[in-house]
Structure 1
Amino acid sequence: MNRRVVLLPGLWMPGAAMHWLSARLQAAGFAPEVFGYRSVADGPDLAVPRLVGLLQASRAQGGADILAHSLGGLIALQALCEAPQLPVARVVCLGSPLTGSGAASGMLRWAPAATLLGRSAALLQHGVACWQGRAQVGVIAGRVPHGLGALFAGFSGEHDGTVAVAETRLPGLTDHVVVDASHSGLLFSAAAAEQAIAFLRDGGFRHP
């Protein structure tokens, strides 16, 4: 049986945003399934318990792995923190600000922009402290600085236009790699897809 992989989109993204990556996973022999949620109206308060239920139901099929973009990675780790016995072996996060988003913090200081974060604001701003769960977690960060997030964050180091590479380096990660892609470009990057597949298969990225 092909290994099941649940895909989570990021902030403002419909489930369809993950379809290119889903096709790459399917071609590599996985069984992808897109998990859609309303990032602004519902946020993690509703998305996390729904995800927990989906992953619990996957136990009968041998469990599942996760591939998540941006906010989706935070929601995935939040679900695993709240339900540590979920049958998830590996998680790949694409450009997820796991230690907190400077762009989100900047948006929250300007009321018109703050409303765009909705109920996901707190999780984006603060991230998670560290990772101590059972699942292996790998992060693929981008370093092509194309995106509006830089207007709010004032990045000083490498970033993908929305998230700083430093914001993706969470204590407790199994592996971390940086590719040439912007934040949204990670969804369509051949290099990111290849690295994600490598981690899902072997528990590690391909480093030079």
Structure 2
Amino acid sequence: MRTFITAVFGLTLLLPPVAQGSCAILLHGLGRSDGSMESLERALEKADFQVVNVDYPSTVYPIETLAGQAIAPALDRCGPGTPVHFVTHSMGGILVRHYLSRVPVPNLGRVVMLGPPNKGSEVVDALGEVPGFHAILGDAGLQLGTSAESVPNQLGAANFEVGIIAGTRSINPVLSQIIPATDDGKVSVASTRLDGMSDHLQMPVTHVFMMQNDEVIKQVIYFLQHGRFYRPGPPSS
């Protein structure tokens, strides 16, 4: 392992060495592909992570099927005993929560979730029965509502290190009218929160593009290395 210097937020920081062979599994959101995570993939590789950028058919199967289908093969690609981190966008975070609630990962490291609907989304509540919704977003899309019976609300608190980034800007004013609070165009800031989370950060980014934002990517890497997000000044208690 080696210590290296990198520039983050305009500052030069001496960061602790990243364990050789640490693996970062990337999981995109509903209706997206692994291409949406390529900026993250490149940045993590430059930061000395082994990266597995997973492409999975998010609109074809329910969450229960997708979680195992996407994550189990990715863990195999990381190799036995390799420290494993997850970086997810939107529904990808729900897949990780579902998988970890059922399958222990002894070498689990840290998890970063971008815009996760951890308490569901009012958009699904309002539009789930509209003709064409299921045809476009599939069974998994219908499972992301805010009711107590929705998949996110059935999974319980996190028992692993997880940092969550919530967006506060929207490029979809129609959907934002459905969401009764500050939101990123798909998910409210409040809904991203998860009991047991290690850190939570709001950033002025949109749901659709947050995983490609340079400042978000810096925060992802910082959390994987430090277990908290970067904030100016001394760490809070």
Distance in 2 between the 1:149 and 1:62 partners?
Answer: 44
Would you tell me which structure has more helix in proportion to its own residues? 1
SS for the counterpart of 1:139 is strand
- 1:14-52 deviation per Cα after TM superposition (whole angstroms, max 9, x unaligned): 111111111111112212111111011124233211213
Structure-1-length-normalised TM-score: 0.90
Q: Which moved more, 1:85-94 or 1:186-195?
A: 85-94
Gaps of 5+ in 1: none
Q: Does 1:136 align with 2:161?
A: yes
Q: CA RMSD in A?
A: 2.0
Distance in 1 between the 2:227 and 2:183 partners?
Answer: 25
Structure 1 residue aligned with 2:74, among 54, 70, 82?
54
Check conservation: 2:119, 2:191, Cα contact below 8 A.
Answer: yes
Distance in 2 between the 1:111 and 1:18 partners?
Answer: 30
Q: 1:77/1:148 Cα in 2 relative to 1: closer, same or farther (>3 Å)?
A: farther
What is the deviation of 1:148? 6.6
Q: Does 1:8 align with 2:33?
A: no
Q: Which moved more, 1:111-120 or 1:176-185?
A: 111-120
Gaps of 5+ in 2: 1-19, 233-237
Q: Does 1:63 align with 2:77?
A: no
Q: 1:132/1:99 Cα in 2 relative to 1: closer, same or farther (>3 Å)?
A: same
Question: Residue type matched to 2:187 in 1?
Answer: V
Distance in 1 between the 2:156 and 2:174 partners?
Answer: 24
Q: Highest CA radius of gyration, 1 or 2?
A: 2
Q: 1:82/1:56 Cα in 2 relative to 1: closer, same or farther (>3 Å)?
A: farther
Q: Which moved more, 1:52-61 or 1:82-91?
A: 52-61
Distance in 2 between the 1:3 and 1:85 partners?
Answer: 14
Structure 1 residue aligned with 2:224, among 191, 200, 205?
200
Distance in 2 between the 1:5 and 1:85 partners?
Answer: 14
What is the deviation of 1:177? 0.2
Q: Does 1:150 align with 2:175?
A: yes
- 1:166-188 deviation per Cα after TM superposition (whole angstroms, max 9, x unaligned): 11011111110011110012121
Distance in 2 between the 1:186 and 1:174 partners?
Answer: 20
Distance in 2 between the 1:32 and 1:54 partners?
Answer: 10
- 1:111-162 deviation per Cα after TM superposition (whole angstroms, max 9, x unaligned): 32233221203432221353242x20111111111137716x6122211111
Q: 1:20/1:57 Cα in 2 relative to 1: closer, same or farther (>3 Å)?
A: closer
Q: 1:168/1:122 Cα in 2 relative to 1: closer, same or farther (>3 Å)?
A: same
Q: Which runs of 4+ in 1 moved over 6 A?
A: none
Residue 5 of structure 2: aligned partner: none
Question: Residue type matched to 2:175 in 1?
Answer: A
Structure-2-length-normalised TM-score: 0.80
SS for the counterpart of 2:209 is helix
Question: Residue type matched to 1:192 in 2?
Answer: V
Q: 1:56/1:148 Cα in 2 relative to 1: closer, same or farther (>3 Å)?
A: farther
Residue 89 of structure 1: aligned partner: 109
What is the deviation of 1:205? 0.6
Distance in 2 between the 1:184 and 1:131 partners?
Answer: 26
Q: 1:83/1:167 Cα in 2 relative to 1: closer, same or farther (>3 Å)?
A: same
What is the deviation of 1:109? 2.9
Structure 2 residue aligned with 1:75, among 75, 95, 102?
95
